[in-house]
Amino acid sequence: MDYRIHFAPLQGYTDAVYREVHAAVFGGVTVYYTPFVRLEKDGFRNKELRDIAPGRNREVCPVPQLIAATPDEFRRIATLFREQGYRQADINMGCPFPMQARLHRGSGILPYKEEGEALLDTVNEFPDMTFSVKLRLGWDNADEALALLPCINSLPLAHVTLHPRLGIQQYKGNTDKESFFRFYGECKHPLFYNGDINSLEDIQRITEAYPLLKGVMLGRGLLSRPWLATEYVTGNEMPDSVKQAKLITFHEMLAERYGASLEGGEHQVLAKLKTLWDYLLPDAEKRLRKKVLKSNNLTTYRLAVKELLQQ
């Protein structure tokens, strides 16, 4: 079965520690992506520089992602990646957050066809690197990605990932399967599907509907059910007892590694661990989730997590 599972980059969640611990405990993922690196007036954010540093990515070599509005921004970020030893990168043309979109970054560049083409053409200036593109159908019109497709098809890209929503939808509303199918029929590069994939059944439904896909990119679905990629690769649902044991190990390893990398002490580690529950186990009992989130030290947190997992 040559069907690949990619882990989408999610700001605030899939940092270097998370990526490496997920790979060690759950696995099943072919490629992990870093949250996007941007260029600001003062240069690069230290947090983003730390996340892509080779020393923090020894166990899992991710594909770094860039977000840019202009060829110059693209050049500076891609050059940074190359200096860090990376030879593959992903171009974010799908981010729906207004703060980026208003700068013509992410899905905010899609209404501006000439700007989008100029940005994409910059890949030709880096012949020693391989690029992929992640995008949405458009910002407020589903024809915007299709308008860019001739340019996309003309470039030497490794693959394309399409999320069939508009930027203005963010993560709400229905995905547009009809528009996805139009793009799918005309895209000459290996294509990946991203969006609302939360179960084995969802992956199977997508593969049956679009048999020429090369894989799927999972985001919130893997944050909610971190065993999902392995279940697909093995073809078997993971027993609850195995999930429970792995989740406990997952939390222990995250606490240990965040403790070694974060400078704010136990309080910062605890705050970081609590962000996992923005998505993790959405169907868990609310009373027990609340107990986890109200924990005021790592000891009570660990006990609350074990109680929740044993429900």
Does the domain at 4-234 match CATH 3.20.20.70? Answer given as yes
| 174, 164 Cβ separation under 8 angstroms | no
Q: Label residue 262 by pLDDT band (50, 70, 90).
A: confident
Tokens of 165: 């929503």
* Mean pLDDT taken over the chain: 95
pLDDT score at 1: 52
pLDDT above 90 for 69: yes
pLDDT above 90 for 311: no
Q: Label residue 2 by pLDDT band (50, 70, 90).
A: confident
pLDDT score at 269: 93
Coil, strand or helix at 136: strand
| 153, 87 Cβ separation under 8 angstroms | no
* CA atoms within 13 A of residue 168's CA, in its CB half-sphere: 8
Cα 130 vs. chain centroid, distance in angstroms?
A: 18
Domain boundaries, the chain: 4-234, 240-309
Quick: pLDDT tens for 130-159: 999 999 999 999 999 999 999 999 999 999
What is the value of pTM for the model shown?
0.95
pLDDT score at 264: 75
Q: How far is CA 168 from CA 55, 63, 94, 101, 114, in A?
A: 37, 27, 11, 10, 21
